[in-house]
Structure 1
Amino acid sequence: MQASEAKGRIAVITGGSRGLGRNTVQHLARRGVSSIFTYHTNRTEADAVVAMAAAEGAQAVALQLDTGDTAAFAGFTQRLQEALQQLGTDRFDYLVHNAGTSHHALIAETSEAQVDALYQVHFKGVFFLTQALLPLLRDGGRIVTVSSGLTRVSMPGSAPYAAMKGAVEVLTRYLAKELGSRGITANCVAPGAVETDFSGGMVRDNPDVNRRVADFTALGRAGVPDDIGPMIASLLSDENRWVNGQRIEVSGGMLL
């Protein structure tokens, strides 16, 4: 997607203040796409992303949101409409569900409260935020959800997290089917292990974990944010308009 093609287009990205969300904002900005992104608590990081987008020649607006708090979605939708007006429009083009939390515990050691928290953020929040924002998403728009390589391979200690991501993959196919009449596509990106601060920086900061990931990845290393953000930006482009209802793993060939 060239900058001239993308001029005037707007993405809404959850969890855009860090990690993969931040990288996606950056690569969309390089293509001329403005972003309205959510952050949970760290306004300083969010402001840095706004500045980064401006340095790339695009606008970005940061809005606070707990994506697991469905009661906040009505107020968020109103604030989003105000942000769109600031950008000179009343609709947006791309919705990227990136926000998430990690969880590492065996099934026998996982509490009901932990499962509920994962459900709120990783499935219920995705479902109802999409529902709330559909009237503002342009016909011919794009939806991208973010899953995980853990829905394909089983790693002990990841069952509840992976199960929620599996539900999002199914939801994505149904979004593609139900929204096809509006020309809206929906696809799911499933990253492998990536060097970010997710899970307390486990892959990025623990040499043993990083080495194990590299050993079972065909390309011989763990992923980095720059492996994922450009792929999402490309998936949103017109060149990929015929890709729909797909789970696309971006893992460098993890556990083939």
Structure 2
Amino acid sequence: MSGHSKWANIKHKKGKADALRGKITTKISREITIAVRMGGADPTGNMKLKLALSKAKANNIPKDNIQRAIQKGAGALEGQSFEEITYEGYGPAGVAMMVSCLTDNRNRTAADVRHVFSKHGGNLGASGCVSYMFKQKGIFAVSAETGVSEDDLMMIALDAGAEDIKSSEDGFEIITDPAAYDDVEKALADNNIEVAMSEITMVPDTMAELSGEDAEKVQKMLDALDDCDDVQDVYTNADLPEDDEE
């Protein structure tokens, strides 16, 4: 899930209960399978697969599961046919939401997503109704525990083509254009800087700061979308208090 408070998001993901581990594994395995079908089993020339494998590593997905997903995508195992669909709309308090799905049944997925929007006070819209508010960016999260200084990290990342670096007590977020993603990744690796999380995601141009009841309603809707089997990622411009995300 994305679009706001990236570092808090990482902690939120890693702190998920074990009961959700199976669902996370299923979603990421599906993402790996689709990536292999679309671009082959070599992550070097397949950015979708590279990102899916990075997500699998961050979520401690077992190697056996990853290998089965790759084999399924390569045709070694029988599998269902999935397609990518993105739904757009507005949630509580008028926040923008983009819901990225992988599905083998478009009608089922549309009904599930529509139900969540309706139940939680949101409204699904036409394609393009909120996507103009977001831009695709590469994100690298570096923990403060690595000990790298902000000045050193900034020099390394910016020289490699990064656009910006944001710091917090937890660490740093490096923001790049997707075209510079590989170069920044290589520069960090060459300088032995460990990355806690990396992805190419949708980042909102402006944030909508929420608190109180509005924040609670949005968080409940985000949780409900996460619970949908076909939903892979949710992007929003909602800026939620960290306490509402834990």
- TM normalised by structure 2 equals 0.25
Structure scoring higher RCO (CA < 8 A, sep ≥ 6) equals: 2
Compare the two structures and name the one with the higher strand fraction.
2
